Amino acid sequence: MKKDVIICGSAECVYAAALACLLTNFQLSISLYCTDELAAGRFQELASAADLQANVSMKRAEAADFKAADLLLITDLKAFSSDTKVESDIQANLTLFQRLIATAMGNGFAGKICSLQKYDALFVYFAWRFSGLPQNDILGLGTFPLTLLLERLLQKQLHVGAHDVRAYVIGTQNRPTIAWSRAYVGVAPILKLMASEEIAFDADKMTQLEKRVQTESQVTQFALQAVCLQTVLRALLFSGGLLAPFTTLHTKEANQTLAYSMPVYLDHTGVRQVAPLVLSKTEQSEIEEIITATRGAITKIEQGDLRA
């Protein structure tokens, strides 16, 4: 049975996400909901590609489609112009985002929301606030693409197999940090391997990997997200589960709920929290700084410095 997915966002972002979904060839009925005009020629490209796939159908979304939708994939609704206009761009996106969620809920949406947005720590939080959906039905890709990238780079450097490395990039998509104390090759902590003369991995290589992750966090991640989307869709809509860092909602002290990336279990029932990741003192301090910055941004929005 096909799963109904609505991809929402600006025309450019919707096109990229739709193409990634098409290439999975999962049993999907895809509807496109653009905040600006997706040119007829661009839509026809996607529709023709869908005709080539055995399991995928494609159409433009209508308001009535929200009621039957299993999943909303929400991309940036308006392009982010430059770092100097981040706050005004977030404000513009939040305004469109609130309208989108109101349209979805007003038409009976009761599925899951997955954010592919640049600042998904903010948008996952406001998706929950605006929609009233259960927390376990809302997530963002967050640092999952960066985690897969880090694991792959470690596999190449250490000359091991695809399932031999376990590492976690946590925090937020635009401000990630690596939990080196929880990174393993087989059963051995990576930090202990650095003391071995037989392993070609040292502090300089660790620093290079950290710089690579930070660099990737500052650019548009269309390609990274496209590669990761197949794994996420399989876990969310079909069989199997996935244990990895995603942006999800967490309740901190004073019952304050915030969104950031930590390892969770993801399957067709939604998000399930797992045992907390035990971090080193330095890593814990870094994640607390990231959480504080996220809390500050949300407070500014809710107090009207940036109006949703």
Asked whether residue 270 carries a pLDDT value surpassing 70, the answer given is yes
Q: Quick one: residue 171, left, alpha or beta (phi over 0 = left, psi -120 to 50 = alpha)?
A: left
| Burial class (CB within 10 angstroms; exposed 0-12, middle 13-18, buried 19+) of 5 | buried
Q: What pLDDT, in 10s, does the model give residues 18-70? A: 999 999 999 999 999 999 988 899 999 999 999 999 999 999 999 999 999 99
pLDDT for 121: 96
Domains along the sequence of the chain with CATH: 3-110 (3.40.50.720), 143-308 (3.90.110.10)
Distance CA 174, CA 106 (A): 32
User: So what's the pLDDT on residue 307?
Assistant: 47
Number of C-alpha atoms within 13 angstroms, CB side, residue 149? 24
The rounded distance, in Å, linking the Cα atoms of 6 and 61 is 7
Which residues make Cβ contacts (< 8 Å) with residue 158, sequence separation at least 6? 164, 165, 185, 193, 199, 200, 201
Strand 71-74 relative to strand 112-115, pairing: parallel
Structure tokens at 232: 């996420």
* Residue found by looking up tokens 């990238």 in the block: 149
Distance CA 13, CA 260 (A): 22
Looking at residue 70, its pLDDT comes to 98
In terms of Cβ atoms closer than 10 Å to its own Cβ (0-12, 13-18, 19+), residue 22 is buried
Burial class (CB in 10 A: 0-12, 13-18, 19+), 51: exposed
Interval 125-130 mean pLDDT: 97
Task: Examine the pLDDT at 265 and tell me if it is beyond 90.
Answer: yes
- Of 106, 122, 124, which Cα lies nearest the Cα of 114? 124
Q: What is the pLDDT of residues 230-264, one digit of tens each?
A: 999 999 999 889 999 999 999 876 678 999 999 99
Give the model's pLDDT for residue 253.
67
DSSP-assigned beta bridge partners for residue 102: none
Bin 273: left if φ > 0, else alpha if -120 < ψ < 50, else beta.
Answer: beta
Contact 224, 151 (CB under 8 A): no
